[in-house]
């Protein structure tokens, strides 16, 4: 089990998550309505988070390629649909359904 602390629109949300589980699902299951518009396929980047502390693991080629197309991100940005939790993490959630007034998107698979 790892501990995730997320800075979200509603404030700080903290929860435990099983190792190797997708970060996006942990966030959603603990009340953070993070966007995941492409359903967890590393295409939309709406599930992005800023990693404030902890090791999110190696970035894959597909994730790296889509993030490289965005100019408004920093080096600590990761796609929460591609991060499988393997460390305690402190993250900042960038985009939420309730803030943007849009549907979150299809739920990513486990």
* Residues in a beta bridge with 90: 5, 53
> What is the β-pairing status of strands 89-93 and 2-8?
parallel
Nearer to ligand FES, 26 or 40 (CB): 40
Smallest separation (angstroms) from ligand FES to the CB of 44: 3
- From the list 1, 66, 70, 58, the residue with the least C-alpha distance to 40 is 66
* Residues in a beta bridge with 17: 2
Binding residues for ligand FES (CB under 6 A):
36-38, 40-47, 79, 81
Nearer to ligand FES, 44 or 89 (CB): 44
Nearer to ligand FES, 38 or 97 (CB): 38
């Amino acid at each position: 089990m790892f501990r995730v602390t997320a800075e979200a629109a509603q404030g700080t949300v903290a929860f435990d998550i099983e190792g190797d589980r997708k970060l996006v699902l942990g966030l959603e299951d603990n009340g953070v309505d993070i966007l995941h518009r492409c359903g967890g396929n590393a295409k939309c980047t709406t599930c992005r988070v800023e990693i404030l502390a902890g090791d999110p693991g190696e970035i894959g080629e597909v994730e790296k390629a889509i993030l490289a197309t965005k100019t408004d991100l920093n080096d600590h940005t990761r796609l929460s649909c591609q991060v499988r939790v393997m460390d305690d993490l402190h993250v900042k959630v960038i985009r939420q359904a309730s803030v943007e007034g849009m549907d979150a998107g299809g739920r990513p698979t486990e």
